[in-house]
Amino acid sequence: MKYGEASKAVFNAVKKGMSNQDILALLPSSKPETVIEKARLYRKKLGLPNAKSCPRGPSIKLPNSTYERMKQEAEARGVEPYDLVRSLLAALVAQNKISDLLDKKGDCNA
């Protein structure tokens, strides 16, 4: 997605009251820190309160190796590991990609 299109998508999502994580799920190819900063600026421009992270839901236990990899990826993007995992899962669900990642047996072991 081109920058102008992504910027417009962020603006429209902010106007709809979407959370940062939901906006990130809409724009999986965009840099998370850029999307979040754009959303913050649009909220300020529109006089809306700045969004904090979504309330944390159920915990998911990850293998240490998976967590460490997610931690590295999150640090590279300037976000918290939990928020990166949540954004990835939200994007998978929003784009109906879960079954694409599972094998024919439905094995989802990391």
Residues of the chain with pLDDT > 70: what percent?
84
- Which pTM value belongs to this model? 0.49
Name, in order, each residue with C-beta under 8 angstroms of 35's C-beta and a sequence gap of 6 or more: 6, 10, 20, 23, 24, 27
Instruction: Quote the pLDDT of residue 20.
Output: 86
Is residue 85 assigned to a domain?
yes
Q: Smallest Cα–Cα separation from 46: which of 57, 38, 58? A: 38
**Number of domains forming the structure of the chain:** 1
Of 16 and 108, which is predicted with more confidence? Answer: 16
State which residues form the domain around 77: 3-101
Is residue 82 assigned to a domain?
yes
Distance CA 91, CA 98 (A): 10
Contact 97, 34 (CB under 8 A): no
Is residue 106 assigned to a domain?
no
Is residue 38 assigned to a domain?
yes
